[in-house]
Amino acid sequence: MVMISVQVNGTSRQDEVEPRLLLVQYLRETLGLTGTNIGCDTSSCGACTVLLNGESVKSCTLLAAQADETDIVTIEGLADPDGTFHPVQEAFRENHALQCGYCTPGMVMAAVSLLDEEDQLDERRVREGLEGNLCRCTRYHN
């Protein structure tokens, strides 16, 4: 077992984890944060995207032990404590930017990261920035 210390959605956590436990499993099974979805286990779909120290990562390809001493934000941590959605969450809601919703948490997290990283965005750059996330409802169009 390995002891990890992380900040998840603003809450400090210390947990003993199996060395091979994936970050997505830690978030879902240990912390009960099931908004981070498991879609492919190969980092192809992006449903498991979270922010790690402010950058989007696919949590199915990162061990929980590798996240030691980091700040993690999941889809549950984007909204304000009073329930006010993050602007990207609100934009998805207002524009009906989901179908089944399975990919939505990963898409939102990737979009938040992209907006934090880029000052100037056009359609081409948005498509490139989100190409690691797949929506299965729309026939896998990146």
Q: How far is CA 139 from CA 32, 65, 76, 134, 136, in A?
A: 30, 35, 27, 9, 5
Predicted local distance difference test score (pLDDT) of residue 142: 53
Q: If DSSP codes are grouped into helix, strand and coil, which group holds residue 58? A: strand
Alpha-carbon span 118 to 115, nearest angstrom: 5
- Give kind and range of the element (H or E) at residue 39: none
Predicted local distance difference test score (pLDDT) of residue 30: 97
Digits of tens for pLDDT over the chain (142 positions)? 999 999 999 999 999 999 999 999 999 999 999 999 998 877 888 999 999 999 999 999 999 999 999 999 999 999 999 999 999 999 999 988 877 888 899 999 999 999 999 989 999 999 999 998 888 776 655 5
Predicted local distance difference test score (pLDDT) of residue 136: 76
Predicted local distance difference test score (pLDDT) of residue 138: 66
Predicted local distance difference test score (pLDDT) of residue 96: 84
